[in-house]
């Protein structure tokens, strides 16, 4: 995790703004970012929350399948609220998930002050390049 942060920093040394952000992060004795795949039970619980499930898997980009997705949700720790919308943090986490979990396509969500990454796997072809979209169910419209 840390070696990746430093590599990235090295690439962007020419940007003073970026250096300042990075410096502040280091000064905070920044906690390492933690990533944990939620259990099936924890995932099922979150899926019952309309707000969390508002954006959900609709189509497999690889095979065109539109139903039957295995949901993979990761809990992310060690990212302060102010950084949870940061593109560089998103890139860093997406990169890590791709490398360590083979997840190609991720969506960042917050729920009850917790920070999550939502992703899905196609049950037909096992691809993780899945399109997510907003699904209007009766519950949401009610
Ligand atoms: Zn597929």
Whether 35 contacts 74, CB under 8 Å: yes
CA–centroid distance, 59 to ligand 1, in Å, is 8
User: Token pair of 34, please?
Assistant: 């933690």
The region, left, alpha or beta by phi > 0 then psi within -120 to 50, assigned to residue 126 is left
| pLDDT at residue 8 greater than cutoff 50 | no
pLDDT of residue 50: 84
By C-alpha distance, which of 23, 25, 4 is closest to 15? Answer: 23
pLDDT band at 92 (very low <50, low <70, confident <90, very high): very high
CA–centroid distance, 63 to ligand 1, in Å, is 4
Average pLDDT, the chain: 82
| pLDDT at residue 77 greater than cutoff 90 | yes
Whether 104 contacts 98, CB under 8 Å: yes
CA–centroid distance, 123 to ligand 1, in Å, is 7
pLDDT band at 12 (very low <50, low <70, confident <90, very high): very low
Whether 93 contacts 105, CB under 8 Å: no
Judged by average pLDDT, the poorest of 17-21, 53-57, 132-136 is 17-21
| pLDDT at residue 86 greater than cutoff 60 | yes
CA–centroid distance, 132 to ligand 1, in Å, is 13
Whether 116 contacts 108, CB under 8 Å: yes
Cα gap 70→98, rounded to integer Å: 17
CA–centroid distance, 131 to ligand 1, in Å, is 11
| pLDDT at residue 18 greater than cutoff 80 | no
pLDDT of residue 3: 34
pTM for the full predicted model:
0.74
| pLDDT at residue 15 greater than cutoff 80 | no
């Amino acid at each position: 995790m840390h070696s990746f942060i430093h590599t990235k920093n090295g690439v962007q040394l020419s940007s003073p703004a970026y250096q300042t952000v990075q410096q502040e992060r280091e000064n905070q004795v920044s906690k390492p970012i933690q990533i944990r795949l939620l259990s099936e039970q924890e995932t099922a619980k979150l899926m019952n929350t309309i707000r969390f499930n508002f954006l959900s898997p609709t189509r497999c980009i690889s095979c065109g399948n539109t139903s039957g997705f295995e949901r993979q949700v990761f809990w992310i720790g060690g990212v302060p609220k102010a950084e949870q919308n940061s593109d560089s943090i998103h890139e860093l986490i997406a990169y890590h998930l791709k490398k360590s979990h083979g997840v190609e396509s991720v969506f960042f969500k917050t729920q009850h002050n917790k920070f999550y990454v939502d992703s899905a796997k196609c049950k037909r072809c096992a691809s993780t390049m899945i399109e997510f979209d907003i699904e209007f169910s009766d519950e949401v419209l009610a």
